[in-house]
Amino acid sequence: MEEYYKRLEVQTDGCPTRTTVDQAECERTCTVSMLPLHMDDLSDQEVLEFQNRGILNESGDIVLMRAKHIAYLRKGLKVLPAGFVALDASRPWIIYWITHSLDLLNALRSDDDAAIIATLASCQQPTGGFGGGPQQLAHCAPTYAAVLTLLLLGTEAAYSAVDRSALYRFFTSIKHPSGGFRMHEDGEVDVRGTYTVISIAALLNILTPELVQGVAEYVLAAQTYEGGFGGEPGNEAHGGYAFCAFATLGILGRASDARLDSLEWWLCHRQMRLEGGFQGRTNKLVDGCYSFWQGGTLALLEYVRRGRIGEVTLLRGGKEGGAIRPEHGESPEPGNFELLKYHDNIMLEGGKEGGAIRPEHGESPEPGNVILPEVPCMLGEVKLGADGSRRCYYVHAHGQMGADGVTTFMHMVSPAGVHSGALAYNQRDLQRYVLLCAQQPEGGLRDKPGKTRDFYHTCYNLSGLSVTQHCLTETPSVLGDSANELLPTNPLYNITEVKAAMAMAHFAKLPCEHDALMQQQQQRQ
């Protein structure tokens, strides 16, 4: 076991930095949390201790401590400790994190609906948006959280609490000439505010040509040289912003206009080799919340690759099943895709091209006699066709290098169990991280071992777990106990699939034209 983890540890090249020291400590704590994976190395007493803590069942399978999480969440919905006064401007968020987590756990009860609706209604401001609390400034972030919560309740009373015309007027008032949206009146413009507006507008059937004008161009400009997306053009790539940007493009039917290969490369390299979870940015530590922000973006990317993004946008028309772009009219149905190849460009020491993988070139002549160690990497071949087939595996690459450095790899294999599932990251390792490193024995989930539980990390760890269990698979991929399976979440809107579909069906019957929505609001005033 020690030898296995040793191969995956951070390499310092003899020059430790604050970054590598913190990374090594994080790996150490995660390795301890992963002890239940190695039953043969544990004593009977240690196995019994893990079973008593609820981490393992009697058969030795890893367990999602469902009952403890539900108890933690339900308590938070009723009363919060005094320290939460610091989050007074995040009331809709707290309610969303809790209710969505309960819904994923199939434990959302209707007896709290009236209190939730009343609390959120008190946060909606005369301008149309929701503030973080009563009498607080209308802001895109709590608006997003409040509306999602009302939609996941899924009742007529909850739907009626959303004032669509007032909300539409608010969205038009924060539209920026750049194409993006401000977070609030006179606030910052970024892809986060843009996603919250576009996603809620899509769900409520108020996604008009006036609202989407210039949005895709603004978002595309935020893609960085690394392949990810920053909060705004020129900023560093970041997991949360990457999700917001790419999800926005997915809704608009413009996702394929992004540099998809670069995005996938960046996303896959955010999955940590030892821990299995994702980091949010280059050279940062693993964090359980990115199980959704990075894992969900990779899921959306796969839907785009297969021409199936319409299955999650739930919108009709558009080049990719996203929103119809008025300037182009309704596009034809997605057709077959050509076979395409790309290079992963993993940087290895030596090589005329930095060691880039070139599988199409085959074996290089007369390789030198220095053996290249095994290196985890991505196979740089993508197959897309009428059947939507695509495979992108983690592989072990075996090669040789001599005086001229690495030129190519002699052969590539994908051992069974290294990668499973339809997505381009190691789904098994991510589930392992959530279940063993992010769960807190008392209930609730956390950033990483050594951190404390909170509702935010509980929500996004569970959301990421749901994505990796359900997206693009006919049979759920569940690690450990079969009872670990969650309800499937929609990876674009992040409410459960059934609640997203119900909301779209409900609001599809209501007026959706710009003039009608604006006139409706003017009549009320």
Ordered by where they begin, the domains of the chain are 2-9+17-52 (no CATH), 66-341+492-524 (1.50.10.20)
With beta carbons less than 8 A apart as the criterion, state whether 70 and 441 touch.
Answer: no
Q: CA-based angle 419:240:30, to the nearest 5?
A: 50
Find the mean pLDDT for residues 66-75: 97
Q: Assess whether pLDDT exceeds 90 at residue 319.
A: no
Grade residue 53 by pLDDT with cuts at 50, 70 and 90: confident
Q: Assess whether pLDDT exceeds 70 at residue 172.
A: yes
3-state secondary structure string, 234-268? CCCCCHHHHHHHHHHHHHHCCHHHCCHHHHHHHHH
With beta carbons less than 8 A apart as the criterion, state whether 114 and 473 touch.
Answer: no
φ/ψ region of 60 (left if φ > 0, alpha if ψ in -120 to 50, else beta) reads: left
92 vs 385, higher pLDDT: 92
pLDDT in tens, 181-191: 999 999 999 99
pTM across the whole model: 0.81
What is the Cα–Cα distance from 469 to 291, expressed in whole angstroms?
12
What is the Cα–Cα distance from 380 to 392, expressed in whole angstroms?
7
Q: Assess whether pLDDT exceeds 90 at residue 433.
A: yes
| Listed range (203-217, 269-283, 319-333) with the worst mean pLDDT | 319-333
pLDDT for 281 equals 97
User: Crossing angle, helix 455-470 and helix 290-305, to 10 degrees?
Assistant: 30
Give catalytic residues, as residue numbers.
Answer: 238, 281, 284, 287, 289-290, 447, 454, 457
Q: Which contiguous run of DSSP H or E holds residue 212?
A: helix 209-212
